[in-house]
Amino acid sequence: MNVILIAVISIGVIALVAALVLYVASKKFAVYEDPRIAKVAEVLPQANCGGCGYPGCSGLASAIVKAGSLEGKFCPVGGQPVMEKVAAVMGLVAEAKEPMVAVVRCNGTCANRPRINQYDGVKSCAIAAALYGGETGCSFGCLGCGDCTRACKFDAIHMNPETGLPEVDDDKCTACGACSKACPKGIIELRKKGLKNRRVYVRCVNKDKGAITRKACSVGCIGCGKCEKTCPFGAITVENNLAYIDYNKCKSCRKCVEVCPTHAIIDLNFPPKPAKPAAPAAEADKPVAKPAEAVQSAAPVAMPSAASIVSLLPQANCGACGFDDCPAFAAAIVKDGGIGDKSCSVGGDEVMAKIADLLKNGPKAPAEAPKAEAAPAPTEQPAVAKTAAPAVELVNIAAHPKVDVVAKIAAQALANAAKHPVKADAAVVDTTPIVPVKTTGLLAIKRAAKTQEEAVAVVEKIASTLL
């Protein structure tokens, strides 16, 4: 009996002393934390992925509470619903933000982009990128080793073994940005998810000149600029031989997708478009009308000489069409027996129409060629676009004694026009030279004017101010 009593008392005393020590310690060494941090952390998804830019969910919670506002903070995993819950805890209002998704900007599949060597080494994109430009002729494209797939914590990106490219699962992707950071080539971009998951983007990051890109990959962007001209919303910019669609301006009209000669622009998750009418419309001014189709359906005429085609071309020799220079472009047309899907972005639809005309109707008097003077003769058809696609015409100011000044003034005119609202009957003159003014003396003018005469008048006015 005594033994039991002693045992019980001694253990009880030890327990009491231990409890006292613990109580004192918990009070003395307590760390004060704002209770809201715990409340906010509770409503967060607990993925601890770092997609918000903070270390883990508790990191985001502390940052929000410390800052006292939701400015600049967003949980991509939880999305809008979770941010609203956080706002409720904090007593704030959550700002609406569009959901984003990761997009793989490369379509260089094994079929499109043939391999020209074999990589032997660790299957890691970071290591392969340090070694060389890759197994294909495109040194910008996806290396296919899967660093992005390993970086993803949401099982949202996987390599497709047939194409050799990563594919994003829209439903699982939380736009945390891990794959984008892991990719050493910068191919993965976070873009707006779009209504009904539909989005349009350029599936290429190749900055090589068009001819080189074309050789390496059949669906690469050659920087021809057709999309830039076609876009009614000014959402596309072409820089360094690569087109980029600004997802804030893009309205998913898909006009650029139709005009892209290499099919580098992708419209994802759209329903298939109804088939276009085969015959061209009665009006001659379709924005992306292919005169070539009309030519090929007509009875074949004897092919004109390459020289006669060359004389119609702008002589820019810029290579934007994908061929080395204008004679090569003309020779290719003669060789292929038709225009096919070739186009001259500098000359634009007008020049292509003239070529189509030439092919259909045979050579005419050389007077048709665009004149190398300040005021070009008007062509048969008014080349005014029904929609907003501006035509490009060339005005040769090489002869002008102050050619550089003219270019500068014209540019200033544009800037001024941008500042003030444009009147319906005014001409907006965009004089970004497509080719160096010094070398060719040609100043390309883009306009949204109603008639060609107006643009000509504008240029004459500019030139006359200097006389």
Partner 1 sequence: MLKTFSIGGVHPHGNKLSAGQPIVKAEIPAKVAILLGQHIGAPAKPLVAKGDTVKVGQKIAEPGGFVSAAIHSSVSGKVSKIDTIIDASGYPKPAIFIDVEGDEWEESIDRTDTLVKECTLAPEEINKKVADMGIVGLGGACFPTQVKLSPPPTFKPECVVINGAECEPYLTADHRLMLEKAPEIVVGVSILMKSMRVNKAYIGVENNKPDAIAALEKAAKDFKGIEIVPLKMKYPQGGEKQLIQAIIDRYVGSGALPISTGALVQNVGTAFAVYEAVQKNKPLFERVVTVTGKSVKNPGNFLARIGTPIQQLIDACGGLPADTGKIISGGPMMGKALVNTEVPTAKGTSGITIMNQKDAKRGEVQPCIRCAKCVSACPMGLEPYLMAQLAEHAEFERLEKEDIMDCLSCGACQFTCPANRPLLDYISLGKARVGAIIRARSAKK
Partner 2 sequence: MENKLIVSLSPHDHANDSVQKNMYGVLIALIPAFLVSLIAFGIGSLVVTAVSVAACVFFEWAISKYILKRECLTITDGSAIITGVLLAFNLPSNLPIWIIILGALFAIGVGKMSFGGLGCNPFNPALAGRIFLLISFPVQMTSWPVAGQLTSYVDATTAATPLSLMKQAVNGNPGALGDLPDALGLLLGNNIGGSLGEVSALALIIGGCYMLWKKIITWHIPVSILVTVFVFAGIMYMVDPTTYPSPEYHLLSGGLMLGAIFMATDYVTSPMNHRGQLIYGVCIGIITMVIRLFGSYPEGMSFAIFIMNAFVPLINTYVKPQRFSSRAASVKK
**Binding flag, residue 119, partner 2 (CB under 8 A):** yes
Let me know: does 105 contact 203? Beta carbons within 8 Å.
yes
Site string for partner 2, 133-162 (x = CB under 8 A): --x---------------------------
Q: Residues of 81-116 as b/e, b for ≥16 C-beta within 10 angstroms?
A: ebbbbbbebbebebeeeeebbbbbbbbbbeebbeee
- Provide, rounded to whole angstroms, the least separation between the CB of residue 179 and partner 2: 24
For residues 387-406, which are near partner 2 according to CB under 8 A?
none
Give how many residues touch partner 1 by CB under 8 A: 14
Q: To the nearest whole angstrom, how small is the minimum distance from the Cβ of residue 106 to partner 2?
A: 20
Residue written as tokens 């950071």? 181
What six digits make up the tokens of 219?
Answer: 């669906």
Least separation in angstroms between residue 398's CB and partner 1 is 20
240 near partner 1, rule: CB under 8 A: no
User: Could you give the CA distance from residue 347 to residue 229 in angstroms, rounded to a whole number?
Assistant: 12
What string of DSSP letters covers 62-81?
HHHHHHTS-TT---TTTHHH
Dihedral through CA 288, CA 289, CA 292, CA 296, nearest 10? 140
Q: Footprint of partner 1 on residues 90-149 (CB under 8 A)? A: 116-117, 120-122, 124, 126-127, 130-133, 139
Which element (helix H / strand E) includes 116?
Answer: none
Q: How far, in Å, CA of 227 to CA of 255, rounded?
A: 8
- CB of 262 within 8 A of CB of 220? yes
Binding site partner of 115, from partner 1, partner 2, none, Cβ cut-off 5-8 A by kind = partner 2
CA distance 348 to 363: 20
Distance in angstroms (rounded) separating the CA atoms of residues 194 and 201: 11
- Given a contact cutoff of 8 angstroms between Cβ atoms, the answer to whether 255 and 231 are in contact is yes
Judged by CB under 8 A, which of 189, 208, 228, 393 binds partner 1?
208
- 132 sits near partner 2 (criterion: CB under 8 A): yes
Report the residue number, 124 or 296, with the smaller CB distance to partner 1.
Answer: 124
Among 10, 46, 69, 117, which residue interacts with partner 2 (rule: CB under 8 A)?
117
User: Closest distance between partner 1 and the C-beta of residue 416, in Å?
Assistant: 36
Residues from 13 through 52 that contact partner 1 (CB under 8 A): none
Of partner 2, partner 1, none, which one sits near residue 208, judging by CB under 5 to 8 A according to partner kind?
A: partner 1
The distance of closest approach from Cβ of residue 182 to partner 1 in the complex, given in angstroms and rounded to an integer, is 10
- DSSP of 436-448, one letter per residue? -HHHH-EEEEEE-
162 binds, among partner 2, partner 1, none (CB under 5 to 8 A by kind): none
Query: For binding to partner 2 (CB under 8 A), which residues are involved?
Result: 115-121, 127, 130-132, 135
